[in-house]
Chain A
């Protein structure tokens, strides 16, 4: 070892050394606080880093480590250590790893290699054609940009959670990336006024459950048909049934806060689950009655079919959450819009995401929870991501051509 030319052994040793140094730093300095790198430190750091890489590249002929760093013999162990530290995080679920020194040092080592070989490839295209060189640059420079800018930019990322109530403009929010415990409430330079929050739901479903376990039974001999439905209903206890003699509960339309969904169903029993699934065969028995998934005001209601089975309506599944809002930003900017999952609203460098609502009230919720994100480094990360996408396409195209 350590006699030229260096091979894998040196790389494996260097990696072990980095982990060791990392552990020592971890026990002396403690975890890394990435937030300390906020503007302007991250910008200065990036400039210095690129400069240092350039200088290292310039003096490579005089320093053997640098020459070696730009070879596969350095890249493979470095990537291997990258797998290792990430694997440890994946297995333990310990996301503090992101702030740990060993993890960070290994990734910095990877970035050094990436940076140096990219500089070399940009200055000296190799044989094999322009496509191959472009492919290399897209893959390696793209990853370098996405990782470095993503990491440094993290310190400038702002992320807040804001809970708005209908008709009450709100500008106070919880800081999600700064101090975590106790949560810090801050005043934002913009305010959100919630006009309306709506949930669209999928149509109700009816399932048969086991009376004992409460589990859904996929193959019961019962087949269920919906006869009528109230989307907005209230329960009326102890009514007379159609024969006028028996106490039963039924539902009436009730278009007001807290209404639930209720369906009147007919359940028919067949000889076997197969016949029931197909709806063919002779009907052995029928049952009729109301079922409801309930709401925060009304209880859910099941229909007892026999000693084994009941019919129920599970909670309706949401299809779309939407908040109608007006957002007020600095300089008298004002914007009306609808914020939905997957459709954030953009204003003044902020992106506003729909994240939640008052789930106890369900579709009657009068509050909506938003996340506001501002990430000034995002364009650089995206540039890296798009380069990698181009690189992947080029890799696909060039795969299979003869390599040297």
Chain B
């Protein structure tokens, strides 16, 4: 039997429940149970992605609905990696809630899911490029949550640990973004003849990248309360740029119909 979007709820709902259990046990500091439930949820969710991949006969990376699928997958993945490395108790609750949001969008607003892949996208670079980007989005999402937490709970701004957490998330997120962007450049060279064409999407990726670099370099300085607040806003602004890059440019008048990433005579 072929897996299709019709079967999505049967995979997504149990996965979310498993992730929620994992998040619950991470608060209770039960390490084995946390890891087991979260990983089970991830495996189940990935099974759906693989099934869809097989029945579509192409990686499900094309429509917005499909990228949301990867986003909901990588949130818990990023969550469990962060958790296993630094043992933040809240991170799994956060990743579960965000994943749930994206799953709900896919459940309640399914799009017409296209099954074809235009020639320019048929490249070995395609899957790694998009997957790495999705992973970086998930990490920056977590960084935003930490930044907002620091913004609204000023008493925590002296807590060295939280700042380290924020730094780590941005560092790892940025290294993934760099990889995604450079894969994109190498691919663009093969597909369109140039590695960087300042196309609106590329321009906004560049802005986002530079913007997170501002944060990273700023954080090299000694830390005090005033600086910390500036740093928080740097993360928030960078995250807004990231949203522009991801979907905002679709609504930006100056970017309409300009993308080189289309394929036709006109």
Q: Would you call B118 and A317 a contact (CB within 8 A)?
A: yes
- Of B94-102, B151-159, B217-225, the one contacting chain A is B217-225
**B196 near A: Cβ within 8 Å?**
yes
Q: Would you call B175 and A93 a contact (CB within 8 A)?
A: no
Smallest Cβ distance from B223 to chain A, in angstroms?
A: 11
**B194 near A: Cβ within 8 Å?**
yes
- Of B43-51, B141-149, B201-209, the one contacting chain A is B201-209
Chain B, 180-232, CB within 8 A of any chain A CB: 182, 185-186, 189-196, 198, 200, 203-204, 206-207, 210-211, 213-214, 217-218, 220-221
As a 0/1 sequence over residues 390 to 404 of chain A, the CB contacts with chain B under 8 angstroms (1 = contact) are 011101100110010
**B116 near A: Cβ within 8 Å?**
yes
Q: Which residue, B86, B168, B196, B217, has most C-beta atoms of chain A within 10 A?
A: B217
Smallest Cβ distance from A45 to chain B, in angstroms?
A: 20
Q: Would you call A76 and B207 a contact (CB within 8 A)?
A: no
Smallest Cβ distance from B164 to chain A, in angstroms?
A: 8
As a 0/1 sequence over residues 61 to 101 of chain A, the CB contacts with chain B under 8 angstroms (1 = contact) are 00000000000100110011011001101111111001000
Chain B, 89-143, CB within 8 A of any chain A CB: 112, 115-120, 122-123
As a 0/1 sequence over residues 82 to 122 of chain A, the CB contacts with chain B under 8 angstroms (1 = contact) are 11001101111111001000000000000000000000000
- Of B16-24, B28-36, B66-74, B258-266, the one contacting chain A is B258-266
Chain A, 197-215, CB within 8 A of any chain B CB: 202
Smallest Cβ distance from A299 to chain B, in angstroms?
A: 22
Contact A90 to B122, CB < 8 A, known contacts A396-B175, A400-B86: no
**Contact partner of A83 among B194, B214, B254, CB < 8 A?**
B214
Closest to A344 in B: B190
> With a CB–CB cut-off of 8 A, which chain A residues contact B266?
359
CA separation between A319 and B115, bound complex, in Å? 11
CA separation between A389 and B195, bound complex, in Å? 15
Q: Would you call A91 and B210 a contact (CB within 8 A)?
A: no
- Of A232-240, A281-289, A324-332, A350-358, the one contacting chain B is A350-358
> With a CB–CB cut-off of 8 A, which chain A residues contact B117?
319
Q: Would you call B265 and A90 a contact (CB within 8 A)?
A: no
Smallest Cβ distance from B249 to chain A, in angstroms?
A: 8
Q: Would you call A93 and B221 a contact (CB within 8 A)?
A: no
Contact A385 to B203, CB < 8 A, known contacts A359-B265, A393-B175: no
> With a CB–CB cut-off of 8 A, which chain B residues contact A359?
264-266
Contact A396 to B254, CB < 8 A, known contacts A317-B116, A344-B190: no
CA separation between A351 and B175, bound complex, in Å? 30
Q: Would you call A98 and B198 a contact (CB within 8 A)?
A: yes
**A369 near B: Cβ within 8 Å?**
yes
Q: Would you call B116 and A95 a contact (CB within 8 A)?
A: no
Chain A, 363-404, CB within 8 A of any chain B CB: 369, 371, 373, 378, 381, 385, 388-389, 391-393, 395-396, 399-400, 403
**A318 near B: Cβ within 8 Å?**
yes
Q: Would you call B218 and A318 a contact (CB within 8 A)?
A: no
Q: Would you call A318 and B210 a contact (CB within 8 A)?
A: no
Smallest Cβ distance from A78 to chain B, in angstroms?
A: 9
> With a CB–CB cut-off of 8 A, which chain B residues contact A357?
265
Q: Would you call B195 and A381 a contact (CB within 8 A)?
A: yes
Smallest Cβ distance from B5 to chain A, in angstroms?
A: 11
**A321 near B: Cβ within 8 Å?**
yes
> With a CB–CB cut-off of 8 A, which chain A residues contact B182?
385, 388-389, 392
Q: Which residue, A79, A159, A318, A378, has most C-beta atoms of chain B within 10 A?
A: A79
Interface residues of chain A, those whose CB is within 8 Å of chain B, are 72, 75-76, 79-80, 82-83, 86-87, 89-95, 98, 150, 159, 202, 216, 218, 317-321, 340-344, 351, 353, 355-359, 369, 371, 373, 378, 381, 385, 388-389, 391-393, 395-396, 399-400, 403
A-B contact pairs, 22 of them (CB 8 A): A76-B217, A79-B210, A90-B207, A150-B196, A159-B194, A202-B116, A317-B118, A319-B122, A321-B119, A341-B119, A342-B123, A342-B190, A358-B265, A371-B193, A378-B189, A391-B178, A392-B174, A392-B175, A392-B182, A395-B171, A396-B171, A399-B171
Q: Apart from A320-B119, A340-B119, A385-B195, what 7 extra A-B contacts exist at CB < 8 Å?
A: A76-B217, A320-B122, A351-B193, A355-B263, A359-B264, A388-B182, A400-B168
Report, nearest first, the 6 A-B pairs whose CB atoms are least far apart. A93-B254, A399-B171, A392-B178, A341-B119, A396-B175, A395-B175
